[in-house]
Structure 1
């Protein structure tokens, strides 16, 4: 059985008219994508507000300060990764805003075999969406009164490489 084509969509905050548009699109994705999603995580070390954030700066800075005030786990095999529950609206709101403050934030598929969204280095943000999820996502964006970015509408999905060719 052939895998669905996957479309890559650039989603850095700076590409939108306002950073909040990028947050809104991520929030819609997290709502629509829930049946497809596995862990939704970020690395809370070194969180920093992006310049493109305007409306919620004080609230998000407060979240960052709360996280920084938490005791740091000690030990050889400690993980700093923090998981967010997408069924909880407050956790979803927090994740949407903190993801773009993080060095690494990822929305995984079941079993962590698929990445649907990732922020890296606070500056790069990307969606990788199979066609069925992309269609549902775009429909939800429009139903909520947002515009799907023009370059997203023209982006073409590509067939994933067979497992034995991946990594080459």
Structure 2
């Protein structure tokens, strides 16, 4: 069975009129995709609040401060996982994802990434057609507008594994 086509959607906070719009869209995504989600993690080292943040500044700073007060483990720093069945954990992840050097939402079945923030600056969704349709329906159901460039983004079929590169065997 061929893999489902995937759409790439850019979600940097600077592209939204208000940062909270980016947070709200991520929150809706996590609700819609919950049954499909694998690991939802972020790098807790060096969390820094996005400069664009307005309304949630105190709340996000409190979350960052709580993590920074935790005892530091010796050795390699492990990523912090979040349970998407827990409403508070979802809420915390949404508010911290853009403060992290790396935050990732993995798929359980497709063995791929659905959402990722890199270096607090770049943020991207990679959505299979069926999940994109459910996500867009949920956003519209709340009476919100979907970013115009997201509506025009074309889905692409993933390359077969033997054409994807990375293996030089």
Q: Name the TM tier (shorter chain).
A: over 0.9
Consecutive unaligned residues in structure 2, runs of 5 or more: none
How many residue pairs end up in the alignment? Answer: 166
1:64 match? 64
1:23 match? 23
1:84 match? 82
Aligned Cα RMSD in Å? Answer: 1.2
**CA drift at 1:52:** 1.5
**CA drift at 1:79:** 3.8
**Which of 121, 139, 146 is residue 137 of structure 2 equivalent to?**
139
SS of 1:35 mapped into structure 2: helix
Consecutive unaligned residues in structure 1, runs of 5 or more: none
Runs of 4+, deviation exceeding 3 Å: none
Query: TM-score w.r.t. structure 1 length?
Result: 0.95
Give the Cα separation in 1 of the matches to 2:43 and 2:135: 25
Query: TM-score w.r.t. structure 2 length?
Result: 0.95
**Which of 130, 141, 162 is residue 160 of structure 2 equivalent to?**
162
